[in-house]
């Protein structure tokens, strides 16, 4: 009888451990799925931001071209130089974001 009680305790302990291991596997799977979904959302947001910045770069470049077309041969306005600097900064941020 004593051996039967001991055997029962061992079986009970093993089943508790197995249930705990299965629960941990389910939790790990859920965490991994959540991390994957989060990574996809971050990548999607990054892509949207890059597209918006690229559109803004095109618009700024067109404005700069128009401003340069209106200047005379030997002069550039301070505003045109500032526009070129802004374009350069935005292009650098897009480039850096692409490398991430």
pLDDT by residue (tens digit) across 48-81? 999 999 999 999 999 999 988 888 877 778 888 8
| Nearest partner of 63 among 35, 49, 82, 83, judged by Cα | 83
pLDDT digits over 3-51, tens only?
A: 777 777 877 787 777 777 777 787 788 888 888 888 999 999 989 999 9
Contacts of 60 (CB under 8 A, 6+ apart): 83, 86, 87, 90
Report whether 32 contacts 73 (CB < 8 A).
Answer: no
Parse the chain into domains and list their residue ranges.
2-99
Q: What letter does residue 71 receive in the DSSP assignment?
A: S
Helices (H), the chain: 2-70, 78-99
């Amino acid at each position: 009888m004593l051996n039967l009680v001991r055997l029962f305790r061992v079986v009970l302990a093993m089943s508790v451990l197995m249930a705990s291991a299965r629960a941990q596997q389910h939790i790990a799977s859920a965490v991994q799925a959540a991390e994957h979904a989060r990574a996809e959302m971050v990548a999607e947001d990054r892509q949207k931001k890059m597209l918006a910045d690229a559109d803004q770069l095109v618009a700024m470049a067109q404005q700069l071209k128009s401003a340069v077309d209106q200047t005379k041969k030997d002069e550039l306005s301070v505003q045109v130089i500032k526009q070129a600097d802004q374009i350069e900064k935005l292009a650098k941020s897009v480039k850096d974001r692409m490398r991430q």
